Amino acid sequence: MKQVFSKVVLASGLVMGLAAGAVQAQNVKPDAKRGETLYTQGDAQRGILACVACHGEKGNSVIAMYPHVAGLPAGYVVSQLKKFQIPAGQTKAARMNADGSPTAMTAIVGQMTDADMNDLAAYIAQQKLEKPAFAKEAANLDFVHRGREIWRAGIPSRNVPACASCHGADGKGMPEQFPFLSGQHPEYILAQLQAFAEGHRTHGGTENMMGTIANRMSNADMKAVADYAAGVR
């Protein structure tokens, strides 16, 4: 009987120890310095490429197809990185390219641990957007007017809400929920709207709100509002 009791106590202690370890792991503070190393150097042994190659120094991208990430809230960065991963039992990620093909991020993020993502996000959140993009069609007044109209008032006839209602009048977004669009590359914004519209990006807000919205917009409308969003301040 004593032996049985001892085994029960031992097992209970083991379970409690594992539970305490799990809690402790969850409470580990993200290491921004390690995140910087991942961002600038990657981890070749695990197939994690350096983020700087596409997203630029300190998150300031100089390539239009890759977004600025400098200053994005850590929680938002982590949530988006997870969307590039392919969930168990499924064949594709929630974030795909506009044509339905896998993004380059899927292979990279597939090798990351939660700690990697949290550390990387902590570093990114500390950076500042120093090289914002601008609207490229500022001289086209009709184009600007249409983009501003959609940004401020939406398209009521198609039940498209104003972009500013979530991304802010100045395009700064809502931390942890909706990203900043001010200063983002217009080409990137357009590509994301198209991916949402085609059903290849399936996580935009509650019940994929962005997918529904983008699907109601014409390509011309998407181009106009993407360009306007990049230049709004």
For 89, counting Cβ atoms within 10 Å of its Cβ (0-12 exposed, 13-18 middle, 19+ buried), the class is: exposed
Known binding residue 163? Answer is yes
Residue whose structure tokens are 């007017």 = 145
Residue 55 marked as a ligand binder: yes
Is 166 known as a binding-site position? yes
Burial class (CB in 10 A: 0-12, 13-18, 19+), 201: buried
Residues 6+ apart with CB under 8 A from 28: 115
Report whether 210 belongs to an annotated binding site: yes
Q: Is 167 annotated as a binding residue?
A: yes
| Token pair listed for 193 | 């709207």
User: Biggest alpha carbon distance in the chain?
Assistant: 88
Report the alpha-carbon distance of residue 138 to residue 181 in Å, rounded.
17
Which residues make up each annotated binding site? 51, 54-55, 105, 163, 166-167, 210
Which residues make up each annotated binding site for heme c? 51, 54-55, 105, 163, 166-167, 210
